[in-house]
Amino acid sequence: MRLSLAQIEVRPADVAGNVDRAVDAVERASADGADLVVLPELFTVGYFAFESYARNAEPLDGESLTGLRETAAAEGVGVLAGSIVEDLAASADAGEPVPAEDGLANTAVFFDRDGERRAVYRKHHLFGYGSAESELLVPGERVPTVEFEGFTIGITTCYDLRFPELYRGLVDRGVTLALVPSAWPYPRVEHWRLFPRTRAVENLLYVAAANGVGTFEDDELLGRSTVYDPWGTALASSGDEPALVTAEVDPARVASVREEFPALEDRRTR
């Protein structure tokens, strides 16, 4: 499978422009042969544009996700629209299961090649250190998986990387590829290099961490989107400029690594 991480520039509260850049990236990745394209965290509003969350929140059938759904179908490519600020009340009014009757969530949506919505993941771990995310958003409750091109795919978001038990749970559900839309800023470059690679090594799976780039008032996203294989080897990576980060990934590789080095069989849970 050809996997592409769309490291786009995310501008504060420029929803229309950000979505246009996301759609363009999906189209370019598809033209390059991608089977699956992953977008960054809060690519619509920008993670650090906290004051714009409420006014730019959308339901699952809102304009931004509809545009990505239509692009996925038109291009015949899987898309992780990796994430928007979701208006939970509006989603509930449309008959969607939500973790709360109202409020906002950091929500990633997986669309199949035909545009069908296959999974909705609402970020579980909300960042509180120098961030308003934990004050403004409702955490998710479900951890869905998706079958796609021979992989069992799990979705986590950015800060989730610091909580290894979440990934152990994914392994127990058969996940072989973890997609991680993110908005990771400077100066925590070494943390960004460490956590996705560690999650790949300890769980013997692929980890694809898609970061954005862009500058906010006091923060700058550091890019460096990377695809790691089950040994923790970086298959493709980038700097801190807009880029498509593309790698060939193979579900058989996960099985062979786990057979060669069966560390997961030695786990003791009690």
Token pair 């038990």 is found at 165
pLDDT band at 103 (very low <50, low <70, confident <90, very high): very high
- The CATH number of residue 72's host domain is 3.60.110.10
Percent of the chain with pLDDT over 70: 100
pLDDT band at 213 (very low <50, low <70, confident <90, very high): very high
The pLDDT of 63-86, averaged and rounded, is 98
Q: Which of 58, 75, 133, 158 is catalytic?
A: 158
Residue 220 among the catalytic residues: no
Own/partner long-range contacts of 186-192 (Cβ < 8 Å, ≥24 apart): 186/219, 186/220, 186/221, 186/222, 188/222, 189/222, 189/224, 192/222, 192/224
* Residue span of the structural domain in which 222 resides: 2-266
Q: pLDDT for 156-174, tens place per residue? A: 999 999 999 999 999 999 9
Confidence (pLDDT) at 208 = 98
Residue 9 among the catalytic residues: no
CB 213 within 8 A of CB 12: no
Confidence (pLDDT) at 48 = 95
Does the structure show a pLDDT above 80 at 76?
yes
Residue 133 among the catalytic residues: no
Q: Which of 9, 75, 86, 123 is catalytic?
A: 123
Helix (H, G, I), strand (E, B) or coil at 63: helix
pLDDT band at 24 (very low <50, low <70, confident <90, very high): very high
Q: In terms of Cα–Cα distance, which of 77, 70, 69 is closest to 35?
A: 77
- Structural domains in the chain (count): 1
Sheet holding 177-181, edge to edge: 145-148, 151-155, 177-181, 206-210, 226-228, 234-237
Confidence (pLDDT) at 261 = 95
Q: Which of 9, 41, 75, 133 is catalytic?
A: 41
